[in-house]
């Protein structure tokens, strides 16, 4: 009896003890199920989308474009301190499907796309009482803009790619294994998303606290570039003209202001990756990657270097105000005060004078698309569409040239052929957009012959027609049997 | 094998993965057993014997001793005061067999009441006690596979107990992951079974289960200290290692990697003792790596620069005249390695009465590292008290408090010491530090880093358990145990602006703190009863354990002065974003075990544990882990009697069961969000995004293990042989399965795949010479384990992870790389150039085998299996000799048949002229020295992992020699001393190996990539001397 009493007491204690829960309730994490319920959370979801432009380390718009893409052009090479074999392989055009920088391009872009898909799918489901209708539409369209930007990069780098348009919510086969869509289908989706994103507010209607978000002007400008890449000249003309006429952008009078911290998100900036050093946040790492390494106190990495044989520096005339903003040829050491001449010009666009010696904290934004480029898109598309340059085409390119204090093209070559004008526009793009992640795209979209000839002329003798695309990462092909290598990259 | 598969399926069927509540039925059965068993018919009474059983030495009463009449089934047990009453149908005189766990059996003739019997404590042989989960057993009665670590191994001067396990027991492979003072080890019991989950065993310290997972708060650079180092090894009485499922299943979802049970020393009644022990030692690095001196390096660099830009001539770095003037240059290893002292002082007081026993101890341990500015020190206190306040109540506490401090080697320091050019100097002519490798930015001056960086970790820990055990009835006891493990860690880091790493940010400080809090409650009920030839003891219980960890890290940069280091973060002009984190886990368990024996012949053990863990997916919270074991003591059979003269003991045993592994960290089944920020309008906004795909089905890894063993004692147990064979299959591996990046994620944690381990373990103990003044004992253990990946899920047959491949049919830790094929010679460019992997092949480039046979070499396509980190066998031999007052113990430890990836060597054989190179560079290919094994020097060689960097990792080492001398008693009594001894010892005195790195005892510690030696802090060679005094 005594035993029974004790046994039942102990059993009761057991039962009581078992009451505490085994469910996991993380206190320092949120989980998906409890999130995406109201406007604040919808905004946070879209903020995350923007961060996927460059998340951490060597990330898309914070140096990965440079080391994973631009190295494969006539203007750039792996600098003296770029020791990574994968980077040097791209620079020397010996990269293959296992190149880890290229894997990162693919991986980070799809990460950005999934994050955009989450925002697009989930914000649409938020209870109408918990979110303002206009904000809902705006946030979804911001995500669509970013999704389109990632797909636009992917289709240009890799050609046909899987087109994933919804969040990965489970490990089902249809979520895991997606075949490639045709380039046409990818472009169609990009156009659809950007057309929706055109409904975003204009730059002027955003509050100053929202500067940096995608705008209707950004969507239209990117769309103009998409049409241009597709050689849909008519639409490229229409869209770029729409931006020029209706969105209220203009060039800075002074080219240096394009990259000045004080004039961030100014009238010329249409869409930029935002950086802020020394704030517990992140700086633009191109600044330190291009800064001199051997000058005392500068502490640069000098990993992203000018490819001298491409003669980019020499292509600038001495009067061109862009040259001194773009390059540095001598620099004063903050340690000994001496002026050091550099062995070769080094890129200087993102060098932040307020953080000498610690360029990792450069606060300079990286333009993704800016008004000068829209003018050049307009000039190029007009020339192609009209089988030769129109006056308006000349006016567009000369607006860019005048700002740089070089002679108007109209004055030196008023009657260029279609081909010659095209060359002029590309040459202008090359000089205007140095170190802005544009060169590889410009070379690749002119076709394999042009790309190979240009690179060979610049001494990169390994260049081959297949290099106007990157190989689909071998890892992806191994994991997803539905995926095939790009035909140019099949041995 | 097919039968095994069947058996494992059957066990699987038993182990209902969820849903069914076994709890009520199992526990009810166990609890009502007593009533069932008491319902027996009364025997005829011819005599009543009353008596008492006591400890021969302490005269303390022995509870639970069994008193058995020889030849019949009648037996009884002593109560808490050692008293017993035996009512029997036998008449006096008759023979009694009296036994108690931990004591030698005694046979006496009973002539009448009262009878007092004294039992003598058993030495560590078959009568010795083995600590099992939630109890103890006599070694001879054990049905499972349990190894006890010898005292010779436990007496080594080590910073943490796990280091003492090297070579000390069968089936236990111990490898150092860092030779840093207080550094960690990796332990594999019967092979590693998990790919992604933990592989380290569960430790149970005086009843408190814990894992030894080192964690940095994130503030430090380098390997954090080993948490087990906070437990003073000198306080440890015994270490028992549970290996098979019968032994480990009682730990359920934490048993799959084996269990190490640590019991600390306790006071003994009427043996009041003051012990003082002090020792002092000196450590050195075993060897240094031969690298180029300044002249040879300058020649190499000139050669590289010339081959890169021939137009600039042959002396682009230094002229011949400058080279001739160079001395040896800077020897970076000599500048960093040092002779490092080691000291330990221990004072303990123990004793007590029959009612209360106590042990108090204090220890100070300090070990300087063989690399400058690294060390570990620990101050620890312990109080172990047991009391018997009433006839039916026993209670006790075991409590340890320790504070340890470490200066940790910053990460990458070893690699940096090796590759710094000898032409670079430590200091500039003006006395300031040279900042970095003049040719490559990322490599800072390692001596400046060592001297100037503060990289400190302080851990204060309290670990203790307290229990009360109440004897409800003669055979029934209830025990409640509570325990706590509270650990506070503070990491402090400062890089001054005077050195390269700190120059850019103008000083970097960070502070990290973490508070770990784990508490335990165990409620168990035990019942034991003998009736006739049957004996049963049963255990049932409910336990709960919870843990919470809270951590934060903060930092700042840009300091005006380096003087304040990390002590005033607010004075930094640039604040580093702070971070904080917390996690918790809960484990609820029901457990039950029944040991049954028949006539000391047949033994059966059945156990089950039901675990509910917070860590798993919501569809998979609970799991059952049953086991069954049987043994047969053949030597107790009547028919065996004629053989007893030679074979003293013979037992066969067998067990099978299931255990689990839940070491996956917290919240892995959930789609958790993480914060990430972006800037709008110049201000930072916080965003959230998920970091994984949810997996509601996530569960534990299940290991099915079958074990068969035989224990033989020959010639009065002067030769004990124990042989075990086992087969272990682990299913539902927790794998971070790689998934296509198009999902937005890189991998997902899933239960996929299986791995098997099978092996043989042989332990032999011999008493070679037993004389009054001279004895020699040998203890030999050798273990063979074969590991194989059976499936890795997703239809995949292999996946590559860096230099490793996880491939079906191959063991874990398989190296995957290219195969070298000589050197490209002049004139062979067109024929063989495509096998160099270089776009512009030149004579002197290394050639590789075209494994894929496609006519060209590429790193991606032409890799093969080129080695493995799994040894063929591991072994240890301990010899103990004593002659008069001298005691000599020699522990040899060996590993045979494994390979090591010498990653340091790969770096040193790059010959870039940007960093220093191995002396093999002297034999490099040049036009005048057309080497066929060593390639030419060039600026940008691709870092290709090949078989050249895979080395034989076998070694045999004299792990420990200890010679002690005890002063004769006659001398001591005058001075009122009980014992005084002096000792000298040496660790790692001699090592026989072909491995060319610092030390063959290395591993990277990860499951997927064991056996890589990449900048690992080398294990030291130590000489030690000390004194022990007892009052």
CB contact under 8 A, B614 and A114: no
H-helix or E-strand containing B135? strand B135-138
B401: closest CA among B365, B361, B350? Answer: B361
Burial class (CB in 10 A: 0-12, 13-18, 19+), A218: buried
Q: Which residue is closest to A462 within chain B, CA to CA?
A: B839
C-alpha triplet B77, B79, B80: angle, nearest 5° = 140
- Contact residues, chain A, for B672 at CB < 8 Å: 26, 29-32
| Token code pair at residue B791 | 């499936």
Determine if the peptide bond prior to A361 is cis (ω within 30°): no
CB contact under 8 A, A44 and B687: yes
CA–CA distance, B415 with B446 (Å, rounded to integer) = 9
| Token code pair at residue B493 | 């880091």
The fold adopted by the segment(s) B43-122 is: Immunoglobulin-like (2.60.40)
| Token code pair at residue B721 | 């042989």
Q: Which residue is closest to B501 within chain A, CA to CA?
A: A299
- Domain that includes residue A86, residue range: 37-197+461-491
Asked if residue A92 is part of any domain, the answer here is yes
- Contact residues, chain A, for B740 at CB < 8 Å: 176-178, 476, 479-480, 483
Burial class (CB in 10 A: 0-12, 13-18, 19+), B47: middle
Q: Please report how many Cα atoms fall inside a 13 Å half-sphere around the Cα of residue B711, on the Cβ side.
A: 22
CB contact under 8 A, A211 and B680: yes
Mean pLDDT of chain B: 87
DSSP assigned state of B643: G
pLDDT at residue B35 is higher than 50: no
Asked if A235 contacts A191 with a C-beta cutoff of 8 angstroms, the reply is no
| Token code pair at residue B124 | 């560590």
pLDDT at residue B655 is higher than 80: yes
Report the gap between the CA of B502 and the closest CA in chain A (Å). 10
Residues of chain A whose pLDDT is less than 50? 1, 3, 7, 11, 15-16, 18-19
| Token code pair at residue B641 | 């009697």
Give this prediction's pTM: 0.79
Confidence of residue B73 (pLDDT cuts 50, 70, 90): low
Share of chain B above pLDDT 90, in %: 52
Confidence of residue B953 (pLDDT cuts 50, 70, 90): very high
Closest CB to B679 among A17, A97, A212: A212
| Distance between first and last Cα of chain A | 85
The neighbour count for residue B867, using CB atoms within 10 Å, is 22
Share of chain A above pLDDT 70, in %: 95
Q: Which residue is closest to A48 within chain B, CA to CA?
A: B687
Most B CBs within 10 A among A40, A168, A475, hence the mutation to make, goes to A168
CB contact under 8 A, B667 and A6: no
Report the gap between the CA of B585 and the closest CA in chain A (Å). 8
**pLDDT score at B750:** 84
Q: Count Cβ–Cβ pairs < 8 Å, chain A vs chain B.
A: 245
pLDDT tens-digit map of B236-266: 988 999 998 888 999 999 999 999 999 999 8
Asked if B682 contacts B727 with a C-beta cutoff of 8 angstroms, the reply is no
- Contact residues, chain B, for A485 at CB < 8 Å: none
- For chain B, the domains span 43-122, 154-268+328-507+516-666+677-794+870-898+953-1030, 294-327
B291: closest CA among B1018, B909, B1006? Answer: B909
CA–CA distance, A173 with B794 (Å, rounded to integer) = 10
Report the gap between the CA of A111 and the closest CA in chain B (Å). 4
Asked if A364 contacts A288 with a C-beta cutoff of 8 angstroms, the reply is no
CB contact under 8 A, A32 and B673: yes
Per-position DSSP letters for B189-203, written without gaps between them: ESS---SSS--SPEE
Confidence of residue B41 (pLDDT cuts 50, 70, 90): very low
- Contact residues, chain A, for B581 at CB < 8 Å: 28
Asked if residue A484 is part of any domain, the answer here is yes
Closest CB to A114 among B667, B688, B744: B744
A456 vs B169, higher pLDDT: A456
In this structure, the strands spanning B602-613 and B622-633 are antiparallel
- Contact residues, chain A, for B506 at CB < 8 Å: 357-358
CB contact under 8 A, A209 and B683: yes
Helical ranges in A291-390 per DSSP H: 312-315, 321-326, 371-385
CA–CA distance, B219 with B222 (Å, rounded to integer) = 10
Per-position DSSP letters for A49-104, written without gaps between them: HHHTTS-SSSBTTBBHHHHHTGGGSSSEEE-TT---HHHHHHHTT---TT-HHHHH
**pLDDT score at B293:** 95
pLDDT tens-digit map of B835-892: 988 878 899 999 999 998 888 888 878 999 999 999 999 999 999 999 988 999 999 9
Closest CB to A274 among B674, B678, B839: B678
Mean pLDDT calculated for residue range B344-366: 93
Q: Which range among A42-51, B35-44, B167-176 has the greatest average pLDDT?
A: A42-51
Confidence of residue B27 (pLDDT cuts 50, 70, 90): very low
Closest CB to B440 among A83, A88, A473: A83
CA–CA distance, B694 with A144 (Å, rounded to integer) = 24
Q: CA–CA distance from B594 to each of A236, B74, B710, B787 (Å)?
A: 82, 21, 22, 32
CB contact under 8 A, A30 and B673: yes
Partners of B766 in the β-ladder? B719, B778
Confidence of residue B102 (pLDDT cuts 50, 70, 90): low
What is the radius of gyration, based on Cα positions, of chain A? Answer: 26
Per-position DSSP letters for B179-247, written without gaps between them: -STT--EEEEESS---SSS--SPEEEETTEEE-------SSS-SPPPPGGGGS-GGGEEEEEEE-SHHH
Asked if B722 contacts B707 with a C-beta cutoff of 8 angstroms, the reply is no
In this structure, the strands spanning B259-264 and B202-205 are parallel
**pLDDT score at B822:** 94
CA–CA distance, A209 with A34 (Å, rounded to integer) = 27
Determine if the peptide bond prior to B114 is cis (ω within 30°): yes
CA–CA distance, B612 with B618 (Å, rounded to integer) = 11
Give the phi and the psi of residue B297 in degrees, each rounded to 5: -65, -45
Residues A41 and A142 reside in one and the same domain: yes
Mean pLDDT of chain A: 92
CB contact under 8 A, A358 and B506: yes
Q: How many residues can be counted in chain A?
A: 491
**pLDDT score at A351:** 96
Q: Which residue is closest to A7 within chain B, CA to CA?
A: B31
pLDDT at residue B550 is higher than 70: yes
Last residue of a domain, one of A323, A341, A364: A364
**pLDDT score at B125:** 53
In chain A, how many domains are there?
Answer: 2
Partners of B116 in the β-ladder? B52
CATH architecture of the domain covering B154-268+328-507+516-666+677-794+870-898+953-1030: Beta Barrel (2.40)
pLDDT at residue B507 is higher than 90: yes
CB contact under 8 A, A168 and B680: no
- Contact residues, chain B, for A42 at CB < 8 Å: none
CB contact under 8 A, A28 and B580: yes
Asked if residue A72 is part of any domain, the answer here is yes
Q: Do domains B43-122 and B154-268+328-507+516-666+677-794+870-898+953-1030 have the same CATH topology?
A: no
| Token code pair at residue B117 | 């019997």
- Contact residues, chain B, for A118 at CB < 8 Å: 689-690
CA–CA distance, B517 with B441 (Å, rounded to integer) = 43
Burial class (CB in 10 A: 0-12, 13-18, 19+), A411: exposed
In this structure, the strands spanning B774-791 and B873-883 are antiparallel
Give the phi and the psi of residue A334 in degrees, each rounded to 5: -70, -10
Asked if residue A101 is part of any domain, the answer here is yes
| Token code pair at residue B22 | 């076994």
Residues A177 and A302 reside in one and the same domain: no
- Contact residues, chain B, for A97 at CB < 8 Å: 860
- Contact residues, chain B, for A52 at CB < 8 Å: 689
Residue with tokens 């650990």: B487
CB contact under 8 A, A299 and B581: no
B883 vs B101, higher pLDDT: B883
DSSP assigned state of A9: H
Asked if residue A440 is part of any domain, the answer here is no
Looking at residue A155, which CATH number applies to its domain? 1.25.40.890
**pLDDT score at B29:** 37
- Contact residues, chain B, for A39 at CB < 8 Å: none
Closest CB to A24 among B440, B670, B689: B670
């Amino acid at each position: 009896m005594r035993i029974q009493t004790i046994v039942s007491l102990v059993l009761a204690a057991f039962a009581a003890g078992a009451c505490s829960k085994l469910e996991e309730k993380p206190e320092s994490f949120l989980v998906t199920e409890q999130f995406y319920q109201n406007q604040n959370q919808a905004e946070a979801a879209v903020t995350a989308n923007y961060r996927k432009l460059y998340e951490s380390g060597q990330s898309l718009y914070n140096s990965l474009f440079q080391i994973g893409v631009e190295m494969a052009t006539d203007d750039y090479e792996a600098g003296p301190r770029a020791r990574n074999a994968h980077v040097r392989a791209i620079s020397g055009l010996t990269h293959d499907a296992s190149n880890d920088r290229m894997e990162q391009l693919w991986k980070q872009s799809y990460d950005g796309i999934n994050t955009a898909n989450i925002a697009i799918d989930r914000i649409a489901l938020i209870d109408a009482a918990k979110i303002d209708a206009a904000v809902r539409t705006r946030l979804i369209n911001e995500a669509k803009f970013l999704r389109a930007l990632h797909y636009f990069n992917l289709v240009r780098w890799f050609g046909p790619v899987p087109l994933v348009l919804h969040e990965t919510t489970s490990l089902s086969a249809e979520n895991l294994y997606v075949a490639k869509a045709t380039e046409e289908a990818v472009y169609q989706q990009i156009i659809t998303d950007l057309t929706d994103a055109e409904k975003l507010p204009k730059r002027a209607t955003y509050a100053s606290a929202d500067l940096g978000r995608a705008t209707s002007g950004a969507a239209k400008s990117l769309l103009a570039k998409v049409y241009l890449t597709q050689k849909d000249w008519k639409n490229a003309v229409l869209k770029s003209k729409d931006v020029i006429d209706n969105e209220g952008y203009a060039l800075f009078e002074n080219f240096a202001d394009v990259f000045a911290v004080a004039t961030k998100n100014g009238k010329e900036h249409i869409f930029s990756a935002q950086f802020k050093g020394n704030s517990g946040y992140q700086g633009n790492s191109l600044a330190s990657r291009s800064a001199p390494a051997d000058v005392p106190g500068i502490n640069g990495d000098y990993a992203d270097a000018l490819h001298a044989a491409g003669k980019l520096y020499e292509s600038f005339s001495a009067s061109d105000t862009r040259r001194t903003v773009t390059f540095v040829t001598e620099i004063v050491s903050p340690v000994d005060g001496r002026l050091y001449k550099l062995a070769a010009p080094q890129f200087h666009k993102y060098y932040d004078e307020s953080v000498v010696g610690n360029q990792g904290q450069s606060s300079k934004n990286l333009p993704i698309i800016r008004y000068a480029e829209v003018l050049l898109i307009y000039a190029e598309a007009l020339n192609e569409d009209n089988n030769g340059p129109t006056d308006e085409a000349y006016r567009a390119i000369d607006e860019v040239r005048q700002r740089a204090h070089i002679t108007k093209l109209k004055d030196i070559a008023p009657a260029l052929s279609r081909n010659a004008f095209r060359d002029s526009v590309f040459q202008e793009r090359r000089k205007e957009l140095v170190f802005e992640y544009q060169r590889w795209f410009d070379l690749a979209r002119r076709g394999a012959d042009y790309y190979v000839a240009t690179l060979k002329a610049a001494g990169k003798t390994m260049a081959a027609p297949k290099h106007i695309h990157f190989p689909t990462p071998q890892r992806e092909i191994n994991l997803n049997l539905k995926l095939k290598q790009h035909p140019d990259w099949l041995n | 094998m097919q039968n095994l598969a069947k058996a494992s399926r059957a066990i699987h069927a038993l182990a209902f993965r969820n849903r069914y509540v076994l709890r009520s039925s199992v526990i009810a059965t166990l609890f009502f057993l007593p009533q069932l068993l008491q319902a027996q018919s009364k025997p005829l009474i011819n005599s009543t014997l009353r008596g008492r059983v006591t400890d021969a030495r302490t005269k303390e009463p022995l509870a639970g001793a069994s008193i058995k009449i020889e030849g019949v089934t009648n037996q009884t047990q002593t109560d808490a005061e050692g008293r017993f009453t035996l009512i029997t149908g036998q008449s006096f005189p008759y023979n009694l067999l009296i036994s108690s766990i931990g004591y030698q059996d005694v046979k006496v003739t009973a002539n009448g009441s009262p009878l007092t019997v004294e039992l003598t404590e058993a030495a560590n042989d078959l009568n010795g006690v083995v600590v099992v989960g939630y109890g103890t057993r006599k070694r001879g009665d054990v049905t499972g596979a349990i190894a006890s670590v010898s005292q010779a191994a436990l007496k080594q001067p080590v910073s943490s107990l796990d280091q003492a396990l090297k070579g000390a027991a069968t089936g236990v492979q111990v490898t150092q992951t860092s030779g840093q003072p207080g550094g960690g080890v990796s332990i594999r019991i019967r092979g590693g079974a998990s790919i992604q989950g933990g592989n380290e065993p569960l430790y149970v310290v005086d009843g408190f289960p814990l894992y030894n997972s080192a964690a940095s708060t994130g503030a430090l650079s380098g390997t954090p200290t080993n948490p087990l180092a906070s437990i003073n090894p000198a306080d440890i009485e015994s270490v028992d290692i549970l290996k098979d499922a019968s032994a480990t299943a009682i730990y359920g979802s934490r048993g799959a990697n084996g269990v190490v049970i640590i019991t600390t020393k306790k006071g003994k009644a009427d043996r009041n003792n003051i012990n003082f022990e002090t020792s002092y030692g000196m450590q050195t690095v075993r060897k240094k790596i031969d690298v180029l001196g300044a002249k040879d390096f300058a020649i190499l660099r000139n050669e590289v620069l010339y081959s890169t830009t021939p137009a600039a001539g042959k002396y682009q770095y230094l002229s011949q005249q400058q080279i001739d003037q160079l001395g040896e240059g800077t020897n970076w290893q000599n500048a960093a390695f040092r002779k490092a002292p080691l000291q330990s002082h221990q004072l303990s007081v123990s004793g007590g009465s029959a009612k209360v026993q106590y042990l108090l101890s204090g220890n100070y341990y300090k070990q300087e590292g063989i690399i400058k500015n690294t060390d570990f020190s620990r101050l620890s206190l312990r109080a172990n008290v047991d009391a018997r306040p009433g006839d039916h109540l026993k209670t006790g506490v075991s409590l340890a408090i320790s504070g340890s401090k470490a200066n940790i080697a910053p990460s990458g320091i070893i690699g940096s010491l090796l590759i710094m050019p000898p032409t670079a100097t430590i200091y500039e002519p003006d006395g300031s530090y040279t900042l970095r490798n003049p040719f490559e930015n990322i490599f800072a001056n390692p001596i400046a880093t060592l001297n100037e960086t503060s990289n400190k970790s302080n851990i204060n820990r309290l670990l203790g358990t307290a229990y009360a055990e109440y004897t409800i009835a003669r055979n029934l006891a209830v025990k409640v145990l509570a325990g706590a493990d509270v650990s506070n860690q503070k990491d402090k880091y400062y890089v001054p602006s005077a050195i390269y790493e700190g120059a850019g940010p103008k000083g970097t400080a960070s502070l990290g703190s973490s508070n770990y809090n784990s508490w335990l409650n165990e409620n168990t009920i035990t019942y034991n009863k003998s009736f006739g030839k049957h004996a049963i003891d049963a255990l049932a219980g409910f336990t709960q354990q919870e843990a919470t960890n809270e951590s934060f890290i903060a930092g700042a940069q840009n300091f005006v002065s380096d003087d304040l280091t990390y002590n005033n973060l607010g004075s930094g002009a640039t604040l580093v974003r702070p971070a904080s984190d917390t996690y918790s886990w809960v484990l609820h368990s029901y457990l039950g075990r029944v040991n049954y024996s028949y006539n000391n012949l047949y033994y059966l053990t059945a156990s089950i544990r039901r675990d509910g863990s917070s860590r798993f997916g919501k569809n998979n919270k609970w799991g059952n882990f049953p086991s069954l074991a049987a043994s047969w003591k053949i030597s107790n059979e009547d028919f065996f009697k004629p053989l007893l003269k030679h074979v003293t003991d013979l037992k066969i045993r067998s067990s099978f069961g299931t255990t689990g592994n839940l070491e996956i960290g917290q919240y892995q089944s959930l789609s958790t969000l993480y914060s990430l920020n972006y800037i709008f309008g110049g201000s930072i906004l916080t965003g959230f995004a998920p970091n994984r795909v949810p997996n509601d089905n996530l569960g534990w890894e299940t290991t099915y293990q079958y074990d068969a063993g035989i224990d033989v004692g020959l010639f009065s147990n002067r030769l004990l042989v124990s042989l075990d064979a086992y087969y272990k299959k682990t299913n539902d591996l927790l794998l971070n399965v790689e998934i296509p990046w198009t999902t937005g994620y890189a991998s997902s944690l899933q239960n996929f795949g299986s791995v098997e381990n099978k092996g043989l373990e042989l332990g032999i103990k011999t008493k070679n010479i037993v004389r009054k003044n001279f004895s020699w004992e040998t203890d030999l253990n050798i273990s063979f384990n074969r590991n194989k990946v059976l499936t890795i899920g997703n239809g995949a047959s292999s996946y590559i992870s860096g230099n490793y491949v996880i491939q079906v049919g191959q063991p874990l830790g398989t190296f995957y790389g290219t195969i070298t094929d000589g050197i490209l010679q002049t004139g062979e460019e067109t024929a063989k150039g495509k096998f160099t992997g270089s776009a512009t092949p030149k004579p002197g480039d290394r050639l590789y085998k075209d494994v894929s046979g496609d006519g060209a070499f590429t790193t991606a396509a032409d890799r093969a299996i080129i080695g493995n980190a799994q040894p063929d066998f591991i072994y240890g031999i301990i010899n103990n000799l004593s002659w008069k007052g001298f005691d000599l113990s020699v522990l040899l430890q060996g590993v045979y048949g494994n390979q090591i990836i010498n990653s340091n060597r790969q770096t040193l054989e790059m010959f870039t002229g940007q960093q220093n190179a191995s002396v093999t560079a002297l034999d490099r290919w040049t036009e005048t020295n057309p080497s066929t094994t060593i390639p030419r020097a060039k600026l940008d060689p691709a870092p290709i992992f090949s078989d050249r960097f895979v080395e034989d990792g076998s070694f045999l080492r004299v792990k420990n020699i200890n010679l002690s001398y005890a002063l004769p008693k006659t001398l001591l009594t005058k001075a009122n001393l009980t014992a005084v001894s002096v000792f000298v010892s040496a660790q790692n005195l001699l090592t026989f190996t072909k491995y060319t790195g610092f030390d063959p005892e290395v591993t990277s510690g990860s499951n997927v990539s064991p056996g890589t030696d990449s900048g690992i802090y080398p294990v030291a060679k130590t000489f030690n001397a000390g004194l022990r005094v007892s009052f």
